[in-house]
Structure 1
Amino acid sequence: MTRTVRLTTAQALVKFLANQYSERDGVEQRLVTGMLGIFGHGNVAGVGQALLQAQVQSEEGAAGDDVLGELPYLLSRNEQGAVHTATGFARARGRLQTMAVTTSIGPGATNMVTGAALATTNRIPVLLLPSDQFASRVPDPVLQQLEDPGTLDVSVNDAFRPVSRFFDRVSRPEQLVPSLMNAMRVLTDPADTGAVTVALPQDVQAEAFDWPLAFFERRVWHVARPVPEPAALARAVEVIRSARRPLVVAGGGVVYSGASEELRAFASATGIPVSDTHAGKGAINWDHPSAVGGVGSTGSAAANTLAREADVVIGIGTRYSDFTTASHTAFGAEDVRFVNVNVLGFDAAKHGATMLVADAREALRALTDALAGWSVDDTYRQEAVDLDAAWQQVVDECFHRDQTPLPAQTEVFGALNELMGPRDVLVNAAGSMPGDLQCLWRASTPEQYHVEYAYSCMGYEIPAALGVRLAVGDQPEVVAVVGDGTYQMLPMEIATIVSEGAKVVIVLLDNHGFASIGALSESRGSQRFGTRYRMRQASTGRLDGDEVPFDLAANAASWGADVLRCGSIAEFRENYARAAASDRTTVLHIETDLMGPNPPGTAWWDVPVPEVSTLRSTQQAFAEHVEARKVQRFYL
């Protein structure tokens, strides 16, 4: 006879999650380490009660079949921010651990949709548990329920379907069993992962069921390392051996696979230059003889010069975003071929590549062995070294402009790059900062550079920094770099950081506008329209009056952080030392120049310009766009 225990659906959920583990390379660890959320009428008496009961029973040392597993609970201030925290945590833990997020129905649930899209776009595993309307449909419509006259089985949670790697709605308690088993499968899949959404109707959360005890046994989910198929490896080796000017593009797959050592060994043995994407920066240390920096729209001159003439591009763990390919213009050789190493066949097949579907670490080991005795010629090796050396001079100039009265943001980055240690973590996303950072940042380790640029989501940095802090422990500094635009998206998560007793350094660059979009607007003929924080001018009816009189430093202090205002780069350096020595979350506020200057651009990005316009600036931008598109092509 099957042994069972009677629990509510929510209680069973908590107990199950507390007993799931991941394993890779013989290391086992808790898969879901905690739950973030905000309670409302959809989950306060369901998941909320289950978390409380688990905590009380754990504190009382209860034993027996009725014991619930415990999940630590973190109270967030915004549901989107909660997902970003979970994403930052999972990325910092190499996608081997994650967190769950619980919300009420309605706006609490839909606030998570942006976070879900970010996690799935970046292929980061997070578990989302939005509450839903009543499965029984007796109290219908309930508060915050969206009604569709054409059907009764749709709720706002259906918005999660296109932005989740797995979606399910548990309309009966027993459906939780296959739903959670599939959820764990996706959370631990090195290729097919992202946001996992399990919608929980509020009445089902509180409904009791006799659960088989086997459902709650300790279960280990093994994270696979697919090895190269011999014939595919031979094909890849043949193409690489035929190359005269090969170039590696290292993506996030190298980092998540823990393959940095193998990438350095491969580069040293073959002499092939290694460029990187945002997700792959630091996979090879910046001062390695083969390292040439970021490639693509915001890449270095060294990497982009080599990319234009590369005859074989070896993509390792990259999904080839349009910034990496400079909108299909970066790789300019007429007969360029691609060898793609990726754990996901979807990415390995891009650009008509010779495919090597495998784990990055295993593939690099196999390629290094198979290419033993072969390398690029010394002239090409030296060319890459010389190009990178010339680019490092540009980096030094950007880092030390000594600009007055307001410094360029690149000067702040230079100070941080020199002040932060190799294990400290820089967190950033969106705007002009990621572009400058990919160009300029000298990453010594893959852990140091945590920039989200797949979804390029403003507001990610502050909540993600909390996730990183939870992942790395107390020792390394976690530094979130935000502009005034992204700061205004989710500043309330500073209160979450403070309430958790966590320590994060937040660098707030205040330039009273959108630097990235302003520059883009100007370059595409739209004259920086609507990109500055200005009061509406009564005489013109436009947003071109005085600066909006807000004080972001004072706002940061109101959330409970210490705030240090920095009037110069020298004062910024002094205050960073104070922040690093403190055990409290500190915001370093510094005004920077909205107009830059930014690093010199060496590649293109395709942003359509209106074909017809009465504005001369737009007409000129369209003519330039037509000219730039002439070298754009499919890679086949």
Structure 2
Amino acid sequence: MSVEMAEMQRKNSIPPIQFGEEVTGAETLLRCLLLEEVEYIFGYPGGAVLPIYDSLYGSYFKHILTRHEQGAIHAADGYARATGKPGVCIATSGPGATNLVTGIATAQMDSVPLVCITGNVAQSLIGTDAFQEANITGITVPITKHSYFVRDVRDLPRIVKEAFHIATTGRPGPVLIDIPKDVANAIAPFTYPDHVEIRGYRAEVVPEDEEVQKFIDAIKSAKRPVIMAGGGIIAASADKELLAFAEKTRIPVINTFMGLGGFPGTHELSLGMPGMHGNFTANQALLNADCVIGLGVRFDDRITMGRTKEFAPNARIVHVDIDPAELGKNVSTAVTVTGDVKNTLERAIPLVTACESEAWIKQLKDWQQKQPYKYKTDGDTLKPQAVIELLYTSTDGEAIVTTDVGQHQMWTAQYYKFKNARSFISSGGLGTMGFGFPAAIGAQIAHPERTTIAVVGDGGFQMTNQELAIVSQYNIPVKVAIVNNQCLGMVRQWQELFYDNRYSQIDLTCSPDFVKLAEAYGVKGLRASTPQEAEAVWAEALAHDGPVVVDFRVAQGENVYPMVAAGDTLDQMELGEE
């Protein structure tokens, strides 16, 4: 055992690990996870992983038994996004493994580090259509950063070491390890490598000096520059560097949906979110900028609207990303920097000076004052936007907020001003309904001292609400805010605007009584239908020291505005009613 491993064991009070001792593959796996400093595992047992679960019995790990494998991987995802550490989940073979697929794709699209461990039938049965056999490595090849099928127990330590390295370095992502049952039962001397050497894999990309200098030179001459900060800022833990860079250069900052929290939403240089449901000022900034500095962004279709030639038509585009495949993929770039955005900003900050941008900043502030996010109030009717504003003001923007997908997701992005990185957790690229609640569980476990709110719709919540059993069993104090408009809100909005009010299969009025559902699980349930009730029950929810479900009955026909229709350009914004 190396000196480093011995010190890590001492520091983390990990039970002594005997190297060279003959142990099973299942025990080998757990020892490897201990050495990777894994504390929490989210999972669901089954036949093919029984050897692993037998080794888990009475172990050091905190295992969270979810009620569905999808809940396990979304909770591991929330844990990873809230901490920056890799989330770990376990599922059995066949349907257990395939139930992870949506969560794996979610993590891949949003660059989240996960290590997903699945069991499989014994190798002698592979290819025979054995009970609960599935080629999960083949199924997940397109949606993982890498997938492993373990054929020899002696390879398992190296594979685990590589899996954590791949998941957490470069552009993060999910890695799958599929372990046949015979490998889990096989016996071999325990070893664990001190370091990783993967031929052809060079994840830590340091920008060339010439690239960094071109990045700096592109900014010097700009009069109307804007930074567009994406999820790469958060993945690289570069939020402090971004703040220092923006303040020194006096360049306003747009946060993409995945980048929310990477720059304080209350800062004077913050312009908020751009794109389909972005604000007027952020979109005008892109339309009028002479230099757009993309930091860890994909320039995806929700920002460019698929009209890449008309995107930022007056601007030179500077793009910094650790993944060279993203550079120039969606929009034409004038300057590219291949490398870690944190490292790039650290090297640039001492060399940059303030831009001549004060007139530009004044123009942006004028737009912000004239065209803020707005909605029409209506007496005692509870508006969904008001619910998000209530969540924001009551927590002073300091909570961890997770969401599902739909209207409530966009209202959260618009009306909750995130101050801190890793405080907004949502499925961006894949748009996964059912994500928000289990992700909040993982985030709350990661940060038990912080208020964690799951903002969900009445549709998405019903996809994973069985995980109420977990928050009840472990007294995990997640606050669930259901924005209940009794329909599939975003689908209804599109059917209203683009399908001539033909509302097809969006009615959720037969949903359960969510208060009674919560109480059936032993969780406190509350309901509000007016602004006054909303304030009272939300204060009660925050004061309660355990989990709470709050059913906010909101106006059914409310739409998310501003909106840019698919195929339109950013200057074709529908601002909605005054």
TM-score (norm 1): 0.81
- Residue 309 in 1 paired to residue 314 in 2? no
In the alignment, is the contact (CA less than 8 A) between 2:215 and 2:336 conserved in 1? yes
- Residue 90 in 1 paired to residue 80 in 2? yes
C-alpha spacing 1:140/1:344, structure 2 compared with 1 (3 Å) = closer
In the alignment, is the contact (CA less than 8 A) between 1:310 and 1:331 conserved in 2? no
Aligned residue number for residue 74 of structure 1: 64
- Residue 297 in 1 paired to residue 313 in 2? no
- Residue 492 in 1 paired to residue 466 in 2? yes
- Find the aligned partners of 2:455 and 2:504 in 1 and give their Cα distance: 23
In the alignment, is the contact (CA less than 8 A) between 1:110 and 1:157 conserved in 2? no
The letter for the 2-side match of 1:265 is A
Aligned residue number for residue 337 of structure 1: 316
Aligned match for 1:34, one of 40, 51, 54: 40
- Find the aligned partners of 1:571 and 1:279 in 2 and give their Cα distance: 32
In the alignment, is the contact (CA less than 8 A) between 1:463 and 1:493 conserved in 2? yes
Aligned residue number for residue 529 of structure 1: 503
Deviations 1:175-195 (A, max 9, x none): 31332232022122032x211
- Find the aligned partners of 2:154 and 2:352 in 1 and give their Cα distance: 53
- Residue 605 in 1 paired to residue 566 in 2? yes
- Find the aligned partners of 1:321 and 1:17 in 2 and give their Cα distance: 35
Aligned residue number for residue 6 of structure 2: none
In the alignment, is the contact (CA less than 8 A) between 1:406 and 1:592 conserved in 2? yes
Per-residue deviation, 1:144: 2.2
- The range that moved more, 510-519 or 226-235, is 226-235
Deviations 1:50-78 (A, max 9, x none): 1116x2xxxxxxxxxxxxxx322111111
Aligned residue number for residue 97 of structure 2: 109
- Find the aligned partners of 2:339 and 2:126 in 1 and give their Cα distance: 51
Q: Match of 2:124, SS?
A: coil
- Find the aligned partners of 2:559 and 2:409 in 1 and give their Cα distance: 15
Per-residue deviation, 1:321: 1.8
Aligned residue number for residue 441 of structure 2: 466
Deviations 1:341-376 (A, max 9, x none): 22222223442321112322332233333222x413
Identical-pair percentage: 24
Structure 2: tracts of 5 or more residues without a match: 1-17, 573-578
Deviations 1:555-579 (A, max 9, x none): 2322221101112122111111111
In the alignment, is the contact (CA less than 8 A) between 1:278 and 1:452 conserved in 2? no
Per-residue deviation, 1:34: 2.1
In the alignment, is the contact (CA less than 8 A) between 2:404 and 2:457 conserved in 1? no
Aligned residue number for residue 30 of structure 2: 14
Aligned match for 2:52, one of 44, 47, 53: 47
- Residue 409 in 1 paired to residue 384 in 2? yes
In the alignment, is the contact (CA less than 8 A) between 1:298 and 1:438 conserved in 2? no
Per-residue deviation, 1:433: 1.9
In the alignment, is the contact (CA less than 8 A) between 1:309 and 1:331 conserved in 2? no
Aligned residue number for residue 424 of structure 1: 399
Q: Match of 2:39, SS?
A: strand
Per-residue deviation, 1:421: 3.1
- Find the aligned partners of 2:205 and 2:356 in 1 and give their Cα distance: 28
- Find the aligned partners of 1:205 and 1:528 in 2 and give their Cα distance: 54
Per-residue deviation, 1:284: 1.9
Aligned residue number for residue 152 of structure 1: none
Aligned residue number for residue 230 of structure 1: 209
Per-residue deviation, 1:239: 2.0
- Find the aligned partners of 1:294 and 1:440 in 2 and give their Cα distance: 11
- Find the aligned partners of 1:139 and 1:445 in 2 and give their Cα distance: 49
Per-residue deviation, 1:472: 1.2
- Residue 179 in 1 paired to residue 159 in 2? yes
Per-residue deviation, 1:82: 0.4
The letter for the 2-side match of 1:489 is M
TM-score (norm 2): 0.89
Q: Match of 1:315, SS?
A: strand
C-alpha spacing 1:99/1:329, structure 2 compared with 1 (3 Å) = closer
- Residue 587 in 1 paired to residue 562 in 2? no
Per-residue deviation, 1:487: 0.7
Q: How does 1:446-485 map to 2 (within 5 A)?
A: 446-473=421-448, 475-485=449-459
In the alignment, is the contact (CA less than 8 A) between 1:189 and 1:224 conserved in 2? yes
Per-residue deviation, 1:456: 1.2
C-alpha spacing 1:145/1:113, structure 2 compared with 1 (3 Å) = same
Q: Match of 2:175, SS?
A: strand
- TM-align CA RMSD: 2.7
- Find the aligned partners of 2:326 and 2:552 in 1 and give their Cα distance: 41
- Find the aligned partners of 1:268 and 1:137 in 2 and give their Cα distance: 61
- Find the aligned partners of 2:266 and 2:204 in 1 and give their Cα distance: 29
- Residue 282 in 1 paired to residue 261 in 2? yes
- Residue 211 in 1 paired to residue 153 in 2? no
Pick the structure with greater CA Rg: 1
Q: Size of the alignment, in residue pairs?
A: 550
